């Protein structure tokens, strides 16, 4: 019996599976690409929903690449209830739920590897039975293998995609019921019982997000001291608290909001509320920077404010908060600020050179080529610019359909979407060790300090009138 669950590309797949053409053979409802995944086997290009569910519960082999892609994108072509229903059927009725072709392939592989896997008296799955029973009792083999497959999928789903259960209590309760049913199985092996209990424990515990500071908590603070002002805060204090706020907002986005370009729809606030909050927070921070500069009537104070904000942006860069860098530089590039030639003449050459360096890092040129390279080489925690990923997702969505004309799922597209979501989640999951400073965040979140765009430009013209033609 051969059961393979690829955890990463360093684990090799047995040659008999890798070379088995039947596992990767094109059919009317499934088509493979020539590209190999991290497990060195062909990737699915197109497939029916049923064939994808069949591959999810394949008794011989489950690629971690496939599993991640499936769990990130299944909402596009099916529902969580359908996926769980399939897993439940495989556990309860493996002989009737698993297609005949899959059972035949499974036993053909098992027979080829019997000397390696079935005669080993130390096999944890078959240790209760003598040699004759081990080779003949197909029902036992199928039941144990099916149980392991279902537990493997549930373990990964619960541990790596916890948001699905935090946002869908009905799904959570149904999984808990299934796991409790598995625990009541009298034939359950010790390691299966332990795995089931671990998944059950992970799913039953309080949401992990409760340990994290949330933006709503910061906004609703009423007993904190009076907010500081720009002049009394250091560049380091500002940069650290901007970074803390940016990451809190960024990590709050559920990955399901990245599906279907909801942020571009008319009902975007209902479909993607957290993406819209992230966008609003970016605009508010950028508006605060511009407003703070324009608050100064004298030229030297404005120049000093620009120099201080550039220093804040550079510290944000050192903290890997590239979203913060862009919030500040975009404010400095607004027409109301950029046109102040007399003010900029007072800004030091070193500050101007530093700003040029920062702008090159976060430039949109070449699809954010420099920023992508920087993010590739930095270790989390980090706050990337969300707009870069939304542009990537929009490009994929607009250029490629979800289904073929024959109604097959475009799994190559799902894989591209999943790759972007996985990169976003990589930066969401590692938090900063920065202590919250209420006096600083009160200043940063004070919308009363923000001046609207039209008023900013009027102030700019008043401070430095247009030169006569």
- Given a contact cutoff of 8 angstroms between Cβ atoms, the answer to whether 94 and 143 are in contact is yes
Angle, CA 48 vertex, CA 46 and CA 51 arms, to 5° = 100
CB 246 within 8 Å of CB 255: no
CB neighbour class for 335 (10 Å; exposed up to 12, middle 13-18, buried from 19): exposed
Residue 75 predicted with pLDDT over 50: yes
CATH of domain 4-210: 1.20.870
Contacts of 454 (CB under 8 A, 6+ apart): none
Condensed to tens digits (0 to 9), the pLDDT of residues 7-37 reads 343 434 455 455 566 677 899 999 999 877 6
Question: Which residue ranges does the chain devote to CATH 1.20.870?
Answer: 4-210
Q: Is the pLDDT reported for residue 403 higher than 90?
A: yes
- Compute the radius of gyration of the chain from its Cα atoms: 28
CATH no., domain 215-463: 1.10.840.10
Domain with CATH 1.10.840.10 in the chain: 215-463
Q: What is the pTM of this model?
A: 0.87
Among candidate residues 145, 140, 121, 117, the one with its CA nearest the CA of residue 187: 140
- CA-based diameter of the chain, in Å? 101
How far apart CA 55 and CA 106 sit, in angstroms, is: 12
State the Cα–Cα distance between residues 149 and 195, nearest whole angstrom.
12
Give per-residue pLDDT as tens, 205-228: 865 444 567 777 777 664 566 778
pLDDT in tens, 220-269: 664 566 778 999 999 999 999 999 999 999 999 999 999 999 999 999 99
Alpha helices (runs of H) in 93-162, residue ranges in sequence order: 94-97, 100-112, 114-117, 131-136, 138-160
Nearest to 211 by CA among 177, 248, 245: 248
Instruction: Report whether 45 contacts 31 (CB < 8 A).
Output: yes
């Amino acid at each position: 019996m051969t059961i393979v669950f690829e955890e990463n590309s360093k684990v090799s797949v047995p040659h008999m599976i890798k070379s088995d053409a039947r596992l990767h053979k094109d059919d009317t409802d499934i088509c493979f690409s020539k590209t190999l995944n991290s497990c060195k086997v062909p990737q699915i290009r197109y497939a029916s929903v049923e064939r994808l569910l069949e591959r999810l519960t394949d008794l011989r082999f489950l690629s971690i690449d496939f599993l991640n892609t499936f769990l990130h994108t299944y909402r596009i072509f099916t529902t969580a209830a359908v996926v769980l229903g399939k897993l439940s059927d495989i556990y309860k009725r493996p002989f009737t739920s698993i297609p005949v072709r899959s059972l035949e392939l499974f036993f053909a592989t098992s027979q080829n590897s019997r000397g390696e896997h079935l005669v080993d008296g130390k096999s944890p799955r078959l240790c209760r039975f003598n040699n004759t029973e081990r080779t003949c009792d197909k029902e036992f083999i199928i039941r144990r293998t099916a149980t392991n497959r279902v537990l493997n999928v549930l373990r990964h789903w619960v541990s790596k995609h916890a948001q699905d259960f935090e946002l869908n209590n009905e799904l959570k309760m149904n999984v808990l019921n299934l796991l409790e049913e598995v625990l009541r199985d009298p034939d359950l092996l010790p390691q299966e019982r332990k795995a089931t209990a671990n998944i059950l424990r992970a799913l039953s515990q309080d949401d992990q997000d409760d340990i994290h500071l949330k933006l709503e908590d910061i906004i609703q603070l009423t007993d904190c001291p009076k907010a500081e002002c720009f002049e009394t805060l250091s560049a380091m204090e500002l940069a650290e608290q901007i970074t803390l706020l940016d990451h809190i907002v960024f990590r709050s986005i559920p990955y399901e909001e990245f599906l279907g370009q909801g942020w571009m729809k008319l009902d975007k606030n209902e479909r993607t509320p957290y993406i819209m909050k992230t966008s609003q927070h970016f605009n508010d921070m950028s508006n605060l920077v511009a407003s703070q500069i324009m608050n100064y009537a004298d030229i030297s104070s404005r120049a000093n404010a620009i120099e201080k904000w550039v220093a804040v942006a550079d510290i944000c860069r050192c903290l890997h908060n590239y979203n913060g860098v862009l919030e500040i530089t975009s404010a400095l590039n607004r027409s109301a600020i950029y046109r102040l030639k007399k003010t900029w003449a007072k800004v030091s050459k070193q500050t101007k050179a530093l700003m040029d360096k920062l702008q090159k890092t976060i430039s949109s040129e070449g699809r954010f080529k420099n920023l992508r390279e920087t993010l590739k080489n930095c270790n989390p925690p980090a706050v990337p610019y969300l707009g870069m990923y939304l542009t990537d997702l929009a490009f994929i969505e607009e250029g490629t359909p979800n289904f073929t004309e024959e109604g097959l799922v475009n799994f190559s597209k799902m894989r591209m979407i999943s790759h972007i979501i996985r990169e976003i989640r990589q930066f969401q999951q590692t938090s900063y060790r920065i202590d919250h400073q209420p006096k600083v965040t009160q200043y940063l979140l004070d919308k009363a300090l923000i001046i609207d765009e039209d008023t900013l430009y009027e102030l700019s013209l008043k401070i430095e009138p247009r030169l006569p033609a």
